[in-house]
Amino acid sequence: MFAQINDSTCENSLERPFITHIRVTDYFIVKEKGGVFMITGKTLFLAILVAAILTATLFTVSPIRSATYPYDPWGDVSGPTPGVPDGTINMRDIYYLIQRFNTFGTPIDRAPIKIAIVFSTGGLGDKSFNDVTYAGMMRAKDELNITFDYATPAAIADYEGFQRGFAADGGYALIVCIGFDQADALNNVAAAYPNQNFAIADMVVDQPNVASLVFKANEGSFLVGVLGGMLTNAGKVGFVGGMDIPLIRDYFVGYKAGAEWANASVTVLDPLFVGNWADPAMAKELALVLVGLGADGIFAAAGKSGLGALLACNESNVNGFGVDSCQDYLYTQIVGSATKRVDNAVFDMVKSAVISKLLPNLKTGGFKGGIYIKGVADQWTGCSRLPEEEGFWEQTFSFTETPLSANVLSKLTEARDKIASGNITVPTGYT
């Protein structure tokens, strides 16, 4: 009775089945290159079918190429899914259909799903994780039909109260906590509300209902190292770190590897460490030391201290490289930043929470607590000067980049592609 589709009908990852009609019968008609396939009303699709039938008896959706949706959390769809028998509908097909119903033609008739955010201290306007998270939530609002509320704590002591307030409400599919310093509060709150889903950015909380979003900082640092190696005239580049700990060594080793990969003759000077996250004056002095040693490019990974190092770069007319969020807007000499795409990470978690809310009996594809460690391949880390990122940062932070030369941009995108494909394995500071 059931005619089903599988991934092998898609010949490349930029094409998905085109939904051409939905009729008031017991099947979808799905048109692909190979012909017409019918999907009957399996239990897994009942929620989608009922909503669609209630909203229209017959409507037409123009074929949409899947390049409209470049983010496929389940990866390449060019061949059969490992572990899934041929002729079986899997989560990628389900989510594909959910996307289409929410975005084109007649939408699913449902109230928006609610999400909550507890921003880090500093709130909106920080030109860092908070603003980037907000951009990701606006995308989720447009694409996933969600609504969101947020809190802006004035101090670390406020975190737990806001987290508990949202959890006690009981109406949020996901509560997103931004910043490593929310971990202690979230550990307590997540334990007190075991049925509430949480996510935390840039930190690990070991609770089964918490998704911990961890970024491969070494991969983004490799990319700014490529910029440093390509742009140097002096043949020397340097690094200012906040603390001499594995977290910051991870940035340094990635940066060093990227510079040396792009320019075999470059010298990467020994890293200098401030010993403090909030001492921009000391960081500035250390950056000037590196300039005195001949460096004409400096990567600063030092929290608020790093602002002093970047100021020194601008005043000394040498290239500066920012960290975590795009800092290129600060000064004309800041030519690129290693980025953590918190917007993409949060969007991915919201998407999984939406799927769980719509289809709560699914065994796979919905929200799951655990540690998610992702990098360039998943667009969780990158560089502000990549073509797919540059426009986002310019729009989000209201500035305009100075264009890179063609050879520098080509080397940068080559590095991105080789990291994503596994042809480059970036060293880490954790080993």
Lowest mean pLDDT among 71-80, 304-313, 389-398: 71-80
pLDDT at 62 over 70: no
Question: Highest mean pLDDT range out of 22-31, 127-136, 355-364?
Answer: 127-136
Average pLDDT on 162-174 reads 97
pLDDT at 61 over 50: no
Q: Report the pLDDT value the prediction gives residue 386, as an integer from 0 to 100.
A: 98
Q: Report the pLDDT value the prediction gives residue 149, as an integer from 0 to 100.
A: 97
Higher pLDDT, 363 or 279: 279
pLDDT at 343 over 50: yes
Q: Report the pLDDT value the prediction gives residue 122, as an integer from 0 to 100.
A: 81
Q: Report the pLDDT value the prediction gives residue 48, as an integer from 0 to 100.
A: 57
Q: Report the pLDDT value the prediction gives residue 406, as an integer from 0 to 100.
A: 98
Lowest mean pLDDT among 34-38, 149-153, 192-196, 318-322: 34-38
With pLDDT > 90 as the criterion, what percentage of the chain qualifies? 68
Q: Report the pLDDT value the prediction gives residue 187, as an integer from 0 to 100.
A: 98
pLDDT at 8 over 80: no
Q: Report the pLDDT value the prediction gives residue 363, as an integer from 0 to 100.
A: 78
Cβ pair 213, 345 in contact under 8 A: yes
Q: Report the pLDDT value the prediction gives residue 278, as an integer from 0 to 100.
A: 87
d(CA 266, CA 259): 7
Q: Report the pLDDT value the prediction gives residue 223, as an integer from 0 to 100.
A: 98
Q: What is the pLDDT of residues 195-231, one digit of tens each?
A: 999 999 999 999 999 999 999 999 999 999 999 999 9
d(CA 25, CA 99): 21
pLDDT at 382 over 60: yes
275: left (phi over 0), alpha (psi -120 to 50) or beta: left
Q: Report the pLDDT value the prediction gives residue 185, as an integer from 0 to 100.
A: 98
**And the tokens for 397?**
């932070």
CB count, 10 Å around CB of 410? 12
Average pLDDT on 305-331 reads 97
Residue 360's pLDDT band (cuts 50, 70, 90)? confident
Q: Report the pLDDT value the prediction gives residue 142, as an integer from 0 to 100.
A: 94
Q: Report the pLDDT value the prediction gives residue 431, as an integer from 0 to 100.
A: 77
Which residue reads 């008031």 in tokens? 24
Average pLDDT taken over every residue of the chain:
81
pLDDT at 151 over 50: yes
**And the tokens for 228?**
């440093």
pLDDT at 275 over 80: yes
Find all residues with CB under 8 Å of 109, minimum gap 6, and list them: 51, 54, 55
Q: What is the pLDDT of residues 104-132, one digit of tens each?
A: 434 445 688 999 999 998 888 888 899 99
Residue 33's pLDDT band (cuts 50, 70, 90)? very low
Average pLDDT on 251-259 reads 98
Higher pLDDT, 95 or 186: 186
pLDDT at 292 over 70: yes
d(CA 317, CA 385): 20
Dihedral, CA atoms, 380, 347, 95, 36, nearest 10 degrees? -70
Q: What is the pTM of this model?
A: 0.76
pLDDT at 98 over 80: no
Average pLDDT on 325-345 reads 97
Average pLDDT on 328-336 reads 97
Lowest mean pLDDT among 27-36, 103-112, 135-144, 272-281: 27-36
| Own/partner pairs, 125-131, CB within 8 angstroms, 24+ separation | 127/325, 127/329, 127/397, 128/324, 128/325, 129/178, 129/179, 129/201, 129/202, 129/324, 129/325, 129/340, 129/342, 130/178, 131/325, 131/396, 131/397
CB count, 10 Å around CB of 261? 19
Question: How many residues in total does the chain contain?
Answer: 431
Which domains are assigned to the chain?
7-103 (no CATH), 113-215+342-376 (3.40.50.2300), 217-340+381-421 (3.40.50.2300)
Sign of CA dihedral 143, 148, 154, 158: negative
